[in-house]
Structure 1
């Protein structure tokens, strides 16, 4: 059973390795973001809003999770106009949004390097985590590498590859190299 879990985690890690390597290559020339949010109105004047944002550029990625809670007392203090604006800005349900260079170039750049932050106000809480993209790429490579080494150790003649295995490996490497070149263009 543990071997099956190890295989599943290795496969998931391999997929995440390809995704993070693709983002790393793409982020050198593009500033993009992926955003999702969910808004729930428990009553006509009681808002619960949850949002997550991932944006990347110049080899860095920043992940943000935010929670906004506007109780009826907030709208009583700020008036009907604020409630009407909130109904337009935070419609009930889930939303997804992808913004490319045409929109995100106006945002400014993500700070390069590493960042961990927590910010809180009376109505909102926000968690931020930022890193260079080479770090998750290397970390996601650990489990597939361990799987590959384990597989080679179980063979009768370890570290000897068949012609078929070499051709498949060469093809995959060429496809990945072509994808990196295409993403950088």
Structure 2
């Protein structure tokens, strides 16, 4: 059940985001558009509620509960960035806004950008881990929450691998062609 709710939440996120952008730039309803863009965060509450209801109802935690925690963590950490990304492109396309900004491609500017993304990933994994620890504490039965340990170790791997990628941009900065 949880995986279907997560799929619906992802579709809902993009639908609410699109509705907010259309209201804002196509119909000129700036306040309604801003309200819809802010309400994309409510989608996370739906995912969290579904996972809690499922676990409180006696379900044994599985990969879908870990995925729910990761979905929420990454949505909180990267959601505002995704909304800005979409807003820039929509404003440029439909409201004669400036061209969207692109991340730097070369040198230490690119390395700083990669470290900024890594910090967001650390925040996302931290939120996800906090939710997983909360679920483990809520259920208080290791047999029912053993699968969440796998997700916790995966979060650590994500942080380490993402950090290695950022480090490579620092140690071996990409240079523009001459």
TM-score normalised per structure 1 = 0.30
Greater relative contact order, per chain length (Cα 8 Å cut-off, separation 6+): 1
More strand by share: 1
Look at both structures and tell me which one has the larger radius of gyration over its CA atoms.
1
